[in-house]
Each structure stands twice: as structure tokens, then as C-alpha cells.
Structure 1
Amino acid sequence: MADLAKNWPVAVNAAAGVVLAGFIGWQFISGGADSAGTPVVEAPVIETPAEEPAPRGLADIDGARIAAADAEPGNWLSHGRTYDEQRFSPLDDINDGNIGELALAWSLDTYTTRGLEATPIVVDGIMYLSLNWGVTIAVDAKSGSEIWRFDPEVPGEWGRYGCCDVVNRGVAVWKGRVYTASFDGRLFALDAADGSVVWEVNTIPGPPYTITGAPRVFGDKVVIGNGGAEYGVRGYITAYDTDTGEQAWRFYTVPGDPALPVEHPELEAAMPTWKGGEWWKIGGGGTAWDSMVYEPESNTLYVGTGNGSPWTREIRSPGGGDNLYLSSILALDADTGRMKWYYQTTPGDNWDYTATQPLMLADIEIDGAQRKVIMQAPKNGFFYVLDRETGKLISANPFSTTTWASHVDLETGRPVETGEGEFGHATAFVLPSANGAHNWHPMAFHPGTGLVYIPTQDIAGIYSLSEQWKNEGTYTPKENWWNTGMDWTAYIDAITALPEVPMEKGYLKAWDPVTGEARWQAEYPAPLNGGVLATAGNLVFQGTADGYFHAYKADTGERVWSQYIQTGIVAAPVTYTVDGEQYIAVLAGWGGVNIVSGDARTSAAAKYGNEGRLLAFKIGGGGELPQLALRDQSIPDWPALTADEATVRQGEIAYTQYCMLCHGALAISPGVTPDLRRMGENIREHFQDIVRGGILSDNGMASFADLVSEEDVEAILSYIQKRALEDKARGEPTN
């Protein structure tokens, strides 16, 4: 009302300068004089004060409101708060001066035990977010009480199709509806009031496609990509009408069968960059499984694309070529889906160096000129700054250890490879690994410091070509299973040959995008830590794999606050206000790529289990974080091993191919899924029924009868038994 009152006109009689009491808002205008000389005063013109805006409906968000998000910093209206996805908040009630008083306000159990990766959306005191499988909830952002819950009821056996857990990174909200995607590829429009389904559409042809990313919404269109490149799918992005669910456009990221017509002209240009091979039979890849960012000014949707299928170009495109549009940033017309420009970060990608990591728009000064840029820190280890209007490369500097390339040529825009990344017929150790120098975990930009805060890590990758390809020059893909073209047994043999498995490091790096250097960094004992939030309170927040939630000074990197959560955090925090109080909220639940690559030695999930929780903090919060019970990490007694060496080796190979991706290398679970060394006698007795019979499919353990025989299952059990006996004799830590 105060702002409206400032704009109300003050009524003044222009002729006499008289303000009539009781008629504020009336304006008297002199009409001259009549023939007798008597002044004539025209009837007053009434100017009606501007009406108060009608109360907003629930989740009443549109493009204008998101574009003006800084005018209401107490909300978090879209995935990265604003369309530019900088994940910076102007709120400063919580700041580096009072951060010591930050305490838990409330916690909400999510009743999940898998990775939680979503960024909550907060609109007018209500929080909307997704959990595992695409389950979506609405929560009172002040009290933490759940308002409604929507379960898409994804069949549990679909969990087999996820490369990296059954995660979901969030929802979009638009004009009273919540848009959310299920793990099995369906897109839903839900009524924001009660979570009821308004419409749903199946976005995929079937398994092994999945969806783990958050939709984006703009101009009455909702856009979603998909995952599954490891399994052999063809990537695409689709826009749907927000009101009806009808498809508006679709952009395929790689060409299909050359014998068939191309779906759109951009694929004509891509086709010559795929040389030899039959990539279309193995999908081709290029899935847009995470990063998208929309710019209203130019009506452009920027999309990051993923790795090839298989990973190695030697199999999918043996004649070479850049294999467009793998590992690329695409600029698409948001209305039509037609491409404006592209930039490929890793031409002919061989290492799963996706460019699906978060994209961010900013206006920054470079060489004395203000530039409109798009920034990304993809898996390959170089931080890219591009002109977002033209796609021209401005800079690319290594932000982590990179052995596969020495630098990026600024004239050609191409990386200069060292040759150390070539693995051909030998096993190669390469940095970064397929986990990336930076994975999907959101980074943040602070306009005050000019720094980008990036969750990074140093993890060595071990690459070796498929034995079938090396021996026969052919490759037979497996239906509904990983088809990377890699020899995972060589990976395990390389680890086993080491005197001890090396510890991997994680970092939070404050990166200067202008100078191409790190201003400061915080080091962690484990990689693959959580996403980042920056605030005007000179603070940066991040959760970690080992169960902490930290705050740092944005300018200096000084750690000024920590809370032990007991659960690993991979999601990014958000901040908002309710009734004048600022909150910091984050999902705690370890998983995602950690299901494959996490380290049990540093995992809070291995110690306490992985009970998911939504946590909110405020200054002077009086909540108490419930204490989780320590998990029994002891290995039970196993009988003496009677299987011969050949059987155990058969089991090791089969375990590595089919079990390791969920249950961990060397049969050591990082803590998200069951550690098979700790199987009780009852589980061992029903091992065949579980692995081949699928009796636990409702829990996500699908049948593998199409991939392993009864003999294989017995051999796998023998290998697990061997590993259990070895580690028990070694003295595995117990509680």
C-alpha cells in the first residue's frame, strides 16, 4: 500500500490553487470567464486511486514474475532462483556477522534412503520439491509440515535403468501448477493446491530412458530432457504446452539412422561429423539430462548435452569426427526449438565428458567492456566463458587437474589433446574421470565478489576398451544395460593392483571467470559434494559427502559456520523469507553418482544410513536435529570359501559388469544401497530369487535373469564371500 500511495495524484485547483478538503484526488481546471466576467469552473475530474492488486492465487507465477525475481527476494521462484540461474540471493538478514546464531528451525523426514538432489521452489510461504522417483511434495516453508504428496508410482524394477540412482533434481511452478517428471519418463502438471494431476504425458519411447532433471518453464512452455546414454539411447529435448501437455517442438541432439530422413535441418549439418560405425543402433547418446537456462531478452533456451553412446568414439564412430552435438552447449529459439548456435566443449568425446553441468548467464566486464556471457564448468576440467549472443569462446581455463588436454585454443575453440587420454588397446589413467572435475552439483555466482563457486574434485579415471572390440573389432550391445564400450574388469584389476585404493579429494573453489584463476578454495576429504548457494550476506553455503553443512565468507573463504547433519548432502541449498524471517533450506540425502563412485571411508551414509531429511535453518532457530542411530558396519560370519579360483574370477567379472554400478567397487557399498558383504544367512539363501527371480523388484532390485545365469549368480555370491572374508580378516571398522 505504501508504494501505491506514492503514486496517487494530489488534487489541486489549477486556477485558484485551492485544495478542497474531502476531495483529495479531484482536480479543478479553470474554464476562463463567462460574458459577465464571472469565473467559470468546470466540473471536477475524478482521478480514481490505483486499485490494490488482487490477492495472488496459489503458485501464481509467470514469466514476468520470474524475470523480476529480485523484486521479491523472499521467494525462490525458479530452479536457479532467477532465469539466469546464478543461485545468488539478495537476502542478507543472515550474514557473516550473525552467522554464528544460525540454528535449525525445523526438519522434515522424507522417508527416503536414496539420493536427494532437488532444489526446492518457494512461492509465498509454500515450498514445492521432488524426492526419489519423482515423488513430489508441498511443504509449509515456515513450519516444515507437509501439505500434500504426489507419488507417480514408478515400477520399482525401473531402478535398473538408472546410471546413477533414482534421483530427481526438482520441479517448475507456473500459473498455479507444479510441473514434475517421474523417473520412468512421464511429465506431470499438478494442481498446486492439492497435488492432483491436471495432465500427464509420456515423454519417452520406453526403457532404458529415464528422467532425473528438473523441467524449465517459460512462455507457456515446459521443457524437459532425459537420460540413458550409458544404456544406448538417443538424446532429445522436448517442449510441451503448459496448459494442455501437447508437444510444441522437439530437438534431437544427435543424428539417427542415415537411411531415414532427418527430423530437422541441424542434423544435416551434424551427419558428416559421424564417420563409419552404426551409432544409431547403440543410441548415439547426447542426452540433455540436466542443464538448461532461459534468457527472456533474446527468447533463447540454452541446453547442455551429454556423452556419446557408447562412451568411446572408436566404437560408435571409428572413422573419427566431432560427433555433433555431443558434449555441447546449444542455443535454441525458445518458440521453435531451432538452433541459433552451438559450441562443443569436447569434440569426439571419449571419456564421458558431458556438458550437462549447470549453465549460468551473467553480464561481466572483460577487457574494459561489458559482455553478455554464458558460463559453464563441465566435466572435462575447463571453465568456459562464451558470448551468449554468438557462441564465440572468450576464455577457457583449467579449474582442476586435466591430463587429457593441455589447453583450449582460443582461435579454434578446440582443446589441445596431450595424447595421455588415449586408451586404445591399453588401460589409461586419465584426469578428470567420468565423474568429472565438476559434475551436476549446482555452482553459484556472487555479483558482489565477481566469483563463481564451484564444487570440484580430483578423481582419476581408468579407461580400457571392451575386450570384444579389442579382440574381434566388433561390439555387441546389451539390451537395457550399460553399453559404454568399456572393459570394467580392467578397471577393477587396475584398482586391485594398487597397494591401496587412493583417497580422492573434493574442493569448493571460488573461481574468477575474468582472470581464469581460483581466488580461494576449501578442501574436503571426499569428492562429489553438494551444490552451492551464495547470498548478499557475504556467505556461501554447501553441504558435503561426509555429513556437514558449511558456510564460508564469500570474499575470503573463511569457514564461519558448520553443522553436522549425519547425512551426506548433494543437493543445493536455497534461501527465502516467511513473515520477515530469512531461512536457509537444504535436502540431506546422499546418492546420485555417489551410488557408483562414493567412498565408504568418508561417507556419512555408511555410518548412519541414509535417512532423507529436509532441513531449514534461521537465526535463533530452536529446533533440534534428531540423532540418527549408528549403522552396524560389521561383517557377519561367512562359511569358509569352497569355490575354486576360476569360479571366483567368473563371479568377479560378472559382479563388476552387473552389480558394481549400484553396490560399489570391490563389493564395498558407499552406503546408499546394501553392502553385500554384510548379507545375512537368510539373504544368501535367497540370492538366486533376488538376482534372477526379482522378488525385491518393488524395492528397486529388478530381476537380472536376462543378463546372468544361475551359474553366474552362484559365482557372484562366491566373489562376494571372498571379499567379505578378506575384509573381515583385515579388521573392517565396526561400531
Structure 2
Amino acid sequence: MAGKPLKTNVSTASYCTMLFTLLVTTACKAYEEIKPVPAKGVSSSSVSDTRLVNAELEPENWLSHGRTYKEQRYSTLDKINLGNASKLGLSWSFDLEGTRGLEATPIVVDGVMYVTGNWSKVYALNAVTGEQLWKYDPKVPPEWAVHLCCDVVNRGVAVWENKVYVGTLDGRLVAVNAKDGSLVWEVQTTPTDKPYSITGAPRVVKGNVIIGNGGGEFGVRGFVSAYDGRTGQQKWRFYTVPGDPAKPFENPILEMAAKTWKGEWWTLGGGGTVWDSMAYDSELNLLYVGVGNGSPWNQQIRSPGGGDNLFLSSIVAVRPDTGEYVWHYQTTPGESWDYTAAQQMILAELELEGQKRKVIMQAPKNGFFYVLDRETGEFLSAEPFVKVSWATHVDSKTGRPAVVEGARYTNENFLGLPSPFGGHNWHSMSYNPLTGLVYIPTMDLPFNYQHDPEYLAHPLGVNLGIDGIAGAMPEDLNVRKAIKAMLKGHLTAWDPVKQKAAWRVGQKVSWNGGTLSTAGGLVFQGNGAGEFVAYNAQDGNRVWSYNAQTGIVAAPVSYSVDGEQYIAILAGWGGIMPLLLGEAVQESAANKVNRMLVFKLGGSKNLPTLNVVKRQLNPPANIASKDEIDRGRSLYQQFCFNCHGDTAVSGGVLPDLRYSPFNLQRDAWKQVVINGALSSKGMVSFKKVLEDKDAEAIRSYVIKRAHDKLSEMSAD
């Protein structure tokens, strides 16, 4: 064709113009798919697979749970920085329904914020003004609350195409329209005859919506599932513990896993729920899932004779397309202490011994900070980031912990560090590649583990295989004060290369929120005392704080719209520690306020003044015998403590029964406990497991504890 003119019906100039237009249009279309330009204020752009993979290119948005698939929770936005953070002020606030814990990470897409509150409700808000665009209520039955270990919380949604996905407390996965909140589809992901739940946020990978579940304290078998994002059809399911060996294994790898178990674990559930953390490497095409504790906790009941009990307390890598097993690493073989590995996993590139490594990092409950090769699962290093008593170290060659003698409490009790609350729990940590530090909400709490020989005598309710009385806070005031002095919370900046703390900041309360780190040299964290704080990422010095009026346990995010940077945090006190261990959080700001708070430079809005009502303590005379009160204490610790607090001391989420007007009258107490007068609020009837005399024994114990409180107040 050289030297010959191209035969066409259009001129050369017109052809060039058409070609140029086609090239520009194609390029713009591709760019729109990767990174649409946000419209003024609010838009409803679709979130494609390409956008999720390339989320790093969109610092103005927060497209997935950890901002990007790497789950680093690091924002490259830097208009808010060390030099001007003191000028931060409230831009807007939004009150959510309910007064329970808020744990969600907001998702922000092109000026729209999607966030969850109590009872798995989803809100769409204008990210600039806080105006509610729509709300979706999945209508979780209130009575399902009895199957929840850790409050009626939800940790957030996932977005893909034009849909928003949320897991519900009763085990459903729901897809709603991102524009108006209308239902697109829903599927029941868990058996309805077992006490499963969902509190974790879904993830979307290659069009599959990945979701796990909870219920490890109630005798369930864990698994993680994938559903087609468009239709809700199940694509695959990976069980984290083997079932009955007499039946075919659902996955060939479970045959290997079954060899690490003893006894008839499948009759007790086994545990291993994937209740929170996941991460995805798009280059390796590996999905990493964090696996939870054994069910029951006590291995000598669950798997008599020992064994590693795979895949409990493990990081498991699978193919997101099929659920095919690739590799695993177990942080706590033979798990016996509720040391889950369901905590957040971060993907990063670190230089270790002169070599660049693609790593996955985790600070699970057991107190060791782990660095693994994320391609192969090879163990690289682990060191304790909090006080640890159950193991002396992790062997550098085998990657296995050196468990101390007696730690499994087979013959006598064991004072364990960390406690079942963990050295680090679900509260999100963040990694800043500029400082090379991981910012972790950490805790030092002891717990008295003791075998429960009467496990089979009370198979209902929360049944952990440990003695509930032995693990409870002592009622002696002086002993309790001594134990409370041991309960510590910190913000810890951890160097994953040197495997040591760069700095720590002490907290008033043990139970605190997740972290966000930014390119502006800042670390943001809310705490249980009701403060939202910005720290210098290099040294931990405070540079700004705000009175949120209530305790914070959620993690912040940063986004921008029209060039303005915002910092957002959910403020709402709750979760497992305030429900269960009220004694440890008495200094918390538990004001039953549930809000989204959003800040910007120069923000000038104010929160309304709180009207705090002082509780009155006026218990009836205690006429019950010591035997009756002791029986009531035992029943309380079996059926009531996980919602109303260990030894009847509330952490400010649900009513403190010592102050309850219902304990003044026997008939009123019976109406609630036996007849279910408050079932619509989640306080179900216990008629199936308690007789009238049992309810009265519990009332006698609560009255006794109210008089104990009066004595303490008089002594002070």
C-alpha cells in the first residue's frame, strides 16, 4: 500500500479527525472506568473490578473496607497535616438509630457515604453535608440477639457495580441498589437451626461477594462463602474445620485437617468462624481469610488428646474464583484460649535482611506480631507486642509457639496473658509506608482459665468449656481494684522490620477504636473515654483532640470531595468488653449517643449539649439465703453475664441490672426474664432454660450485688 492513496469516501482530514475522536473517546472511556471524575456534591458512579483493584489511584474515595485490597488503612491525602491539624473542626454530624455499639468503617464513593449501624441497618449519606439519601433496614428479628456474643454491631458494607452489600445479624447477605436503597436480592448464608451470625463486612473480589460468619461461642462450624455479586448465587464455600470423617469431605484439604483433631469434635461444632478479616492480592490472585477460635474454647473437651486442630486460629490463602486451598499458617496450634486469627491482615512490601519481600502482617489475639511471605505462607518473624504468658516465643525455624507448661489448664487454673479479649482484637490497625510503622490498638488484660468439668451439664447458652465463676472478677473490692490496675490499653506504633515498639501511648480505658494513618504525618484514633485524637505518626505526641460525647470503638477514614479533605468516624459505645467486662471500662464515656462525625479544616459545627441522667440505686432488702444467692450467681454467669456484665457490672451498653426497676418487684422481674415482656427490644424469654425459682435466684444475686455497690459508694 506504500505510495498509494487510501481509498475512502471521506477526506484525509476528516478521517484523521474521526480517528482522533475515536482514540480520545476510547481513552476517556477507559479512564472513566478506572477513575471517574466525581460530580459536584453527590454522584452515583458504578464501582467496577478495575476500580477496586486500582483503588490506590483514588485517594478521594474509600472504596473498600481497608481503603484498598491491601487493607493498610493509609490515606495519601495530606491537606490535613501536622502543620494545620489543630484547625480541624466538626463539618457535620448525623445521628443513627439505636444506642448500641458502632463498629463500621464507612465506604465513600464519589461523594456518597455508605455506613452501617445497629441491627445491620444501612445508611447512604451525602458525604459533604450529612444529608440522608436513603436507609435500608433488613429487619433482623430482635430475638436473634440471644445468639450474639458481642453486641448487635456491624462492621460495614462492600460496594460493587451499582450495589451495596451487607451481612445481617441473622446470617443473610443482602444486596441493595446503591442509588435508592431498594432490595436487589438476599440469600441466607447460614443454617437457620444453628446460632450463626454475621457482624463482619463483606469483600468483593472479581465479582464474587465474600462473607464469613460468627457463632464460635455457641457451637457452630465455621466457613467462608462466595456469592455472585449480580445474582446472589453461591459460587463456592470453604469450611475451616472438618466435619464428620464418616461422611465425604467437602474439600480434599479437609481430609488432611481431620488428622489434626481427636474425639468427636463435629458434634460440638468445632468453631473456626471467619467473623471479620480478609485481604486480597490481585497480582497473586490470593484471598486471605482469618480464622477464629475453637468451639468450645477448651481443647480437652473439643479435641481430647490434643492436635493442632486445623484450621483454627489460622491465616488461610484460597483462590477467590473457586475457594481452592493454596496455603495456611496457624498462629495458635491447638487453640485453647479464644486466641483467634480473625484480626486484620495487612499486605505490604518490606525489606528484610536486604531482600524485598511481599508480606502479610497480623497482630492476632495471642499477642505475637506475625510477618509472613504472602505468596507461600512462609514464616518470617514473630515477636510479642503485648505481655504474653502462654508461650515463651515463636520458634524461628518451625514458626510454632513454645507453649509453657500448664497453659492449657488441664489440671489447674492458668492466668493467661493476653485474655480472651486479646492483645489486639478486631479494632483496625493501620500501616504507614512513609514511617514504616503499624499503629495498633493494644491491650494488656489477664484472665483466669480453668477447666469446666460440668460442661455437658449445661449445654445451652454461651458454653466455652471453662469455669465461668473462676474466670469472673472477684467480688472482694480490694482484689477487684488490684486486678483493675492490671488492665491497660495502649496505642502502639510497631516496627514490623525490627519487630519492636517505636512508641506507645497509654489510654484511660482498655477498649478503644481503630486507627487511620495519613500522608500528612498523622494517626487518628477514637478512644473509650470519648475522645477523637490526632497523633504525630513519628512520636505519638497529641496534636489535636475532640470531645465526641461517647466512647469510640470504630475506625476513622479520610476522603475528599471537590478538593476538600474530610476525616470521618462513627461514635457509639459498645462491643464485647462493655457488654461483658464492665469493671474494666468504668471510666468510659457511655452516653448512649450514636453518631457519624465528620471533620474538616475550619469546621465550625457544634454537637448538642448532652442531657445525662444520673442513675439511682435503690435495691430492695436482701432476704435470700447465701445458698440461694450463690446459685443465682452461677446461673447469672451462665445466662446473663455476656449481655449485662460479668458479676452484674455493666459497661454502659445494656441496662445495669443493679439499677433496674425490675429487680424491685418479683412479678416485674418474672415478666421480663420468663415471660419475655421486653422481647421486642432483644431481651428474649428464658422460659425454655429457666424455671421461676431460677429467675428468682438470679434476682437475689443481682440485689446482693446492688447492696455491694451501695457499700462501695459509702466507703468512698
What TM-score does the superposition give when structure 1 sets the normalisation length?
A: 0.91
Offset from partner CA, 1:202-233 (integer Å, 9 cap, x none): 00101400000000001110000000010000
Of 183, 187, 206, which aligns to 2:173?
187
Shift, 1:477, TM fit: 5.8
Matched, 1:675 2:675: no
Pairing 1:616-627 to 2, within 5 Å after superposition: 616-627=598-609
Tell me the matched-pair count. 691
8 Å Cα contact 2:581/2:646 also seen in 1: no
For 2:562, the equivalent position in structure 1 comes to: 579
Offset from partner CA, 1:307-366 (integer Å, 9 cap, x none): 001101100111110000000000001111011000000000110000000011001111
For 1:720, the equivalent position in structure 2 comes to: 702
Distance in 1, Cα, partners of 2:428 & 2:714 = 35
Letter in 1 for 2:628: T
Matched, 1:423 2:409: yes
Distance in 2, Cα, partners of 1:643 & 1:595 = 29
Q: Against the structure 1 CA distance between its residues 710 and 394, is the aligned structure 2 distance closer, same or farther, given a 3 Å change threshold?
A: same
Shift, 1:603, TM fit: 4.7
Distance in 1, Cα, partners of 2:506 & 2:187 = 44
Q: Please, which runs of 5 or more residues in structure 1 have no aligned partner?
A: 1-28, 34-40, 470-474
Shift, 1:656, TM fit: 1.0
For 2:110, the equivalent position in structure 1 comes to: 124
Matched, 1:517 2:500: yes
Q: Against the structure 1 CA distance between its residues 493 and 557, is the aligned structure 2 distance closer, same or farther, given a 3 Å change threshold?
A: closer
For 1:659, the equivalent position in structure 2 comes to: 640
For 1:48, the equivalent position in structure 2 comes to: 20
Shift, 1:608, TM fit: 5.0
For 2:621, the equivalent position in structure 1 comes to: 640
For 1:500, the equivalent position in structure 2 comes to: 480
8 Å Cα contact 2:359/2:372 also seen in 1: yes
Letter in 2 for 1:128: Y
Shift, 1:494, TM fit: 4.7
For 1:255, the equivalent position in structure 2 comes to: 242
Of 690, 694, 700, which aligns to 2:676?
694
Shift, 1:666, TM fit: 2.0
For 2:196, the equivalent position in structure 1 comes to: 209
Letter in 2 for 1:231: F
Distance in 1, Cα, partners of 2:684 & 2:582 = 24
Aligned sequence identity (%) = 51
What TM-score does the superposition give when structure 2 sets the normalisation length?
A: 0.93
Distance in 2, Cα, partners of 1:42 & 1:523 = 71
Q: Against the structure 1 CA distance between its residues 372 and 288, is the aligned structure 2 distance closer, same or farther, given a 3 Å change threshold?
A: same
Pairing 1:525-540 to 2, within 5 Å after superposition: 525-540=508-523
Letter in 2 for 1:48: F
Distance in 2, Cα, partners of 1:490 & 1:681 = 28
Distance in 2, Cα, partners of 1:568 & 1:519 = 26
Pairing 1:332-347 to 2, within 5 Å after superposition: 332-347=318-333
Q: Against the structure 1 CA distance between its residues 358 and 493, is the aligned structure 2 distance closer, same or farther, given a 3 Å change threshold?
A: closer
For 1:58, the equivalent position in structure 2 comes to: 44
Of 95, 100, 108, which aligns to 2:81?
95
Select between 695-704 and 45-54 the one with higher mean Cα deviation: 45-54
Shift, 1:64, TM fit: 1.2
Matched, 1:271 2:251: no
- Give the CA RMSD over aligned residues: 2.1
Of 446, 453, 458, which aligns to 1:467?
453
Shift, 1:596, TM fit: 3.4
Select between 652-661 and 675-684 the one with higher mean Cα deviation: 675-684
8 Å Cα contact 1:111/1:611 also seen in 2: no
Offset from partner CA, 1:229-250 (integer Å, 9 cap, x none): 1000000000000011000000
For 2:40, the equivalent position in structure 1 comes to: none
Distance in 2, Cα, partners of 1:420 & 1:92 = 51
Shift, 1:538, TM fit: 0.2
Distance in 1, Cα, partners of 2:201 & 2:163 = 15
Pairing 1:233-248 to 2, within 5 Å after superposition: 233-248=220-235
Shift, 1:630, TM fit: 1.9
Distance in 2, Cα, partners of 1:399 & 1:528 = 17
For 1:162, the equivalent position in structure 2 comes to: 148
8 Å Cα contact 2:421/2:577 also seen in 1: no
Letter in 2 for 1:664: G
8 Å Cα contact 2:514/2:525 also seen in 1: yes
Shift, 1:604, TM fit: 6.4
8 Å Cα contact 2:62/2:108 also seen in 1: yes
8 Å Cα contact 2:581/2:649 also seen in 1: no
Offset from partner CA, 1:459-512 (integer Å, 9 cap, x none): 00111111325xxxxx35624x21211110122375648623422110010000
Shift, 1:517, TM fit: 0.4
Q: What secondary structure does 2:259 align onto?
A: helix
Select between 658-667 and 84-93 the one with higher mean Cα deviation: 658-667
Of 301, 306, 310, which aligns to 2:296?
310
Distance in 1, Cα, partners of 2:546 & 2:685 = 40
For 1:286, the equivalent position in structure 2 comes to: 272
Select between 289-298 and 684-693 the one with higher mean Cα deviation: 684-693
Q: What secondary structure does 2:480 align onto?
A: coil
Matched, 1:489 2:469: yes
Select between 385-394 and 525-534 the one with higher mean Cα deviation: 525-534
